[in-house]
A = this chain, B = another copy of it.
Amino acid sequence: MKVIETIQEMTHYTETAKSSGQRIGFVPTMGFLHAGHQQLIETAAEENDIVVVSIFVNPLQFAPGEDYETYPRDLSADKRAAKAAGGSVIFAPSADEMYPRSMSVRVLPAQGTDVLCGRSRPGHFDGVLTVVQKLFHIIDPDTAYFGTKDAQQLALVENMVHDLNSRVRIGRVPTVREADGLAKSSRNENLTIEERKEAPELYQALYTASAQAGVGISAEMIEAAACEHLTTHTRGSVDYVELLTYPELTKDIAPGKTVILAAALKFRHARLIDNLIFTWPDNEGTAQFKA
């Protein structure tokens, strides 16, 4: 598995591939690849001639005191996982290669950051959008793939691409789940045996609560139902349960609009997130699930 470490070589690689008519798929990651990443890579491999997997733990999206230094890294395992899933090349630049000097600009989201995970991580999504825009310019992919599990990140990236007229197409890849419904995540390994048994209740809570959407049921009632399900069926503490429009991430919910019901649940050593995206029912109908 070829690993490219410099921006110059990466740009040259994709320029050469594109000039010979090859389609480039791109999967941005922070490494420590799991089944969810592999699903992204597999989807990219099905739809493109070349798949670039970036592995870059982006300091710009970590606040002081967050786990930038201790974020897990394992390039050897990542090379095997990326290759097995159909990746063509890994782009693994150093922090100095990506940020040789203090950044003179940021790509700043104007909305959709004071909700969900953004509320507890101020500045996080500035760092995400800025590095994603840099990687798009360096790699110049036809399509970049993001998972719907990180729904807020996906929404903000889709909004950025639209509003900055980027030519990159965004591929949405559905959440990969265990047989019992738990969304795959490297953080699942930090659950105790008892917590692991309860963890599928996160998905169950979202599913059961959103199925109640209908005549006379408010967003707040859905949120409360999911929250109660979680406190009743798990020992975790609820970080948030929120129902918002998608991808705008506002409270302007109306019949026929696409909405997201998202939650974060904190266990002892693992904070899990999950979401469901569905159409808010009109006066007669019931919820239609999209992901």
Residues of A within 8 A of B (CB): 7, 11, 101-112, 129-130, 133-134, 137-138, 140, 156, 159-160, 162-167
Contacts and interface: CB of A to CB of B under 8 A. Distances in A.
A183 B228 CA distance: 69
29 contacts: A101-B163, A102-B110, A102-B111, A103-B110, A103-B163, A104-B109, A104-B159, A104-B160, A104-B162, A105-B107, A105-B108, A105-B109, A105-B110, A105-B156, A105-B159, A105-B160, A105-B163, A106-B108, A106-B110, A107-B108, A107-B164, A108-B108, A130-B164, A134-B163, A134-B164, A134-B165, A137-B164, A137-B166, A140-B167
Main DSSP-derived SS at the A contact region: mixed
A162 B99 CA distance: 10
B110 A137 contact: no
A261 to B, nearest CB: 21
Contacts of A106: 107-108, 110
B137 A167 contact: yes
A133 B164 contact: yes
B110 A156 contact: no
A110 to B, nearest CB: 6
A11 B164 contact: no
A7 B162 CA distance: 12
A164 B156 CA distance: 18
B110 A129 contact: no
A138 B166 CA distance: 7
Contacts of A7: 165
Nearest to A130: B164
Contact of A165 (B108, B138, B159, B167): B138
A66 to B, nearest CB: 20
